[in-house]
Structure 1
Amino acid sequence: MDPDAIRTGERVPHGGETDRDILDFSANTNPYSPDGVEAVYADALEDSRRYPDDDYPEFRAAAGEFVDCAPDRVIPTPGGLAAIRLALEVTLEPGDEAMVPVPSFGEYAREVRLQGASPRFVPHDEILAADDALEDCALAIVCTPNNPTGEATDPDTLADFATRCEAAGTTLLVDEAFLGFTDLPSAARLESEDVIVARSLTKLFGLPGLRAGFAVATGERREALETARRAWSLGTPAARVGAYCLRQDAFVRETRARVASERERMRAALASQFDVQPSDAPYLLCDVGERDVDGAIAAARADGVAIRDARTFRGLDSHVRVAVKDREANDRLLAALGVADGSESDDSSTGREH
């Protein structure tokens, strides 16, 4: 990181509610975790009396299986954001430019600036069509599904963009923090030396406090990431639980089905009062129009529900973002926003085996 950039840098706001009495719809995490996680964690905690195996063979194998790549291409990191920072550290130098989508995850621009580089903001739905700008940028970032808008990138279109990035000598960072909620293939399949993939485990498996994720790369990029990553990147509990979760195929299928069903139900209900962005992710972006955003947030909180003020995303000025949880929680959200839902209850939407 660039020392001068650190001195002038600032932190960015995120979702996440610390009050345990408030139902948190401001963070997009699964309300469920796979059965058996507690036992795996307890065993790992006992083994934490020793340093973890810095090669992380079990974690790499499970992650490789999950995104369909060779285990040695996996770089363990303490969360998806750590993978993003690591990618930027090995790619950017002071004075470089990086193509950053907007509106999108606020940490991209911050992390670019911390390297002494400058973000070049491009509308998130135009970045894959960029050509001329690639020549001037050392890095291009794509978030799929995009946060906060929710739409996933077409894999073939992304592959074409990766080819253009390679021709321009531009590294492509693909943030797939929420791709696990879809059945779309990972960009890890591209096996291009100019592509780095960042993955987060903790959103899909409902364990954001665990801090487990990974990067995927090949060739010289992979070697640079592996050399630069911190020793003992993951604690033993994070590595052990992460490897266990990545192999819970039935849980992943149930989660995807529940999110898809509940997201459509919520979108239809919310659309009666808000302009709702189509989404492939476990969240919905809502334009409240001429209503007061602060008032909507305060009213929901008064009913015990926290929603995300999306005005903190660059380019949004009348938006909130809400997560997609389970049916009972989602009904509480709709009620807190004053939205009526006429659909009948259906146990199949809970996403849990009975």
Structure 2
Amino acid sequence: MDPDAIDTVDRVAHGGTADPELVDFSANTNPQTPDGVASVYESALSAAGQYPADDYYEFRAAAADYLGVTGAQIIPTAGGLAGIRLLCSVVIDSGDSVAIPTPSFSEYAREVRLQGGEPTFVPHDEITDIDPAAHRMVIVCNPNNPTGESYAHATLQKLADRCRDADTVLLIDEAFLDYTAEPSLAGTPGVVVARSLTKIFGLPGLRAGFLVATGDLQEQLDVARPTWALSTPAAAVGAHCLRDTEFVAETQERVAAERERMRDRLADRFRVSPSDAPFLLCETSDPVGDLIEDARAAGLTVRDATTFRGLDSHIRVAVKRPEQNDRLLAALDV
């Protein structure tokens, strides 16, 4: 990390609320978790009096099976963002340019700046067409947050080929890819994939995730990763969740149906972006603050999307359970 950069970088605004009285539509997490999570956590907690085995064999094996890669390619991290920081610390030198989509996850630019790098912002729908030669790293969020669109696998593969030819690292943040039928680029040479258990398994507080990398970069990341990066309960619950592919399939089906239902209704009042993710970005002609207050008056929270670079008249709403979604639609008068 670049000590000189710390004083120039601020915290980033996110969704989420600590108020248990509010139904949270501002954070894009699954309202359901796989069966058995509590019992697995409790069993693992009894072993937390010792340091976790730093090879994380069970967690790596489950993650590798989930994505169809080898366990050696899995780099355990305390959530997807911790993995992104690890990668930035290994790859970026002071002054390096990193191509970042916009609007997209605001933490990308923050992490690049903390390492002394220079974010180069590219429209999210043009990021796959850029010439990577001018950049040390290119970042793609697939599906993109907050817009929700995913990129075709063939398009990403071509970008990966160009990045490899240019000796440019390609980071693909697949935090929301579990909600789509698109295959992962995990295991592709020159590509680092970031994954999280936060979104699909509804466990943002667990802080479990991983990177997938190959070759020399995999070796560098494995050496540089913090020792005991995952707690024993996080590793055990993570392995348990990653093996529950039936839960993932059921979630995909539920979210797809509810997302389309919500989009049809919201389109009566808002301009709604197409989405393959568990959220919808809505452009409004009404004051964003008024919409947020209307939702709060109904016991709900929505995301103020004007905190994303380039957006000034948008809210983002998550896809929850049908009865919760009905409350949101009523609160927004659609």
Separation in structure 2 between the aligned mates of residue 34 and residue 150 of structure 1, nearest angstrom: 24
Separation in structure 2 between the aligned mates of residue 130 and residue 202 of structure 1, nearest angstrom: 30
CA displacement 1:115-144 (0-9 Å, x = unmatched): 00100000000010112xx22210000000
Separation in structure 2 between the aligned mates of residue 77 and residue 169 of structure 1, nearest angstrom: 25
The amino acid that maps onto 1:322 is V
Q: Does 1:248 align with 2:244?
A: yes
Separation in structure 2 between the aligned mates of residue 14 and residue 94 of structure 1, nearest angstrom: 27
The amino acid that maps onto 1:312 is T
The amino acid that maps onto 1:26 is S
User: Alpha-carbon deviation of 1:243?
Assistant: 0.2
CA displacement 1:7-38 (0-9 Å, x = unmatched): 22111100001111000000000000011111
Is contact 2:138-2:171 (8 Å) kept?
A: yes
Match of 2:78 in 1: 78
User: Alpha-carbon deviation of 1:181?
Assistant: 1.3
Match of 1:344 in 2: none
Give the TM-score normalised by structure 2: 0.99
The amino acid that maps onto 2:114 is L
What residue ranges of structure 1 are gaps of 5+ in the alignment?
Answer: 340-354
User: Alpha-carbon deviation of 1:184?
Assistant: 1.4
- Partner of 2:186, secondary structure, is helix
Match of 1:29 in 2: 29
Separation in structure 1 between the aligned mates of residue 225 and residue 187 of structure 2, nearest angstrom: 22
Match of 1:149 in 2: 147
Matches within 5 A, 1:156-235: 156-190=154-188, 192=189, 194-235=190-231
Is contact 2:2-2:114 (8 Å) kept?
A: yes
The list of structure 1 runs, each at least 4 consecutive aligned residues, that deviate by more than 6 angstroms after superposition, is: none
Give the TM-score normalised by structure 1: 0.94
The amino acid that maps onto 1:35 is D
Q: Give percent identity, aligned residues only.
A: 60
- Partner of 1:30, secondary structure, is coil
Is contact 2:187-2:212 (8 Å) kept?
A: no
- Partner of 1:222, secondary structure, is helix
- Partner of 2:149, secondary structure, is coil
Matches within 5 A, 1:254-273: 254-273=250-269
Aligned length: 334
- Partner of 1:50, secondary structure, is coil
Match of 2:317 in 1: 322
- Partner of 1:41, secondary structure, is helix
CA displacement 1:73-95 (0-9 Å, x = unmatched): 00000000011111111110001
Q: 1:303 aligns with which of 298, 301, 315?
A: 298
User: Alpha-carbon deviation of 1:183?
Assistant: 2.1
CA RMSD after TM alignment: 0.7
Separation in structure 2 between the aligned mates of residue 294 and residue 306 of structure 1, nearest angstrom: 12
Q: 1:331 aligns with which of 302, 326, 332?
A: 326
Separation in structure 2 between the aligned mates of residue 75 and residue 43 of structure 1, nearest angstrom: 24
Separation in structure 1 between the aligned mates of residue 152 and residue 86 of structure 2, nearest angstrom: 26
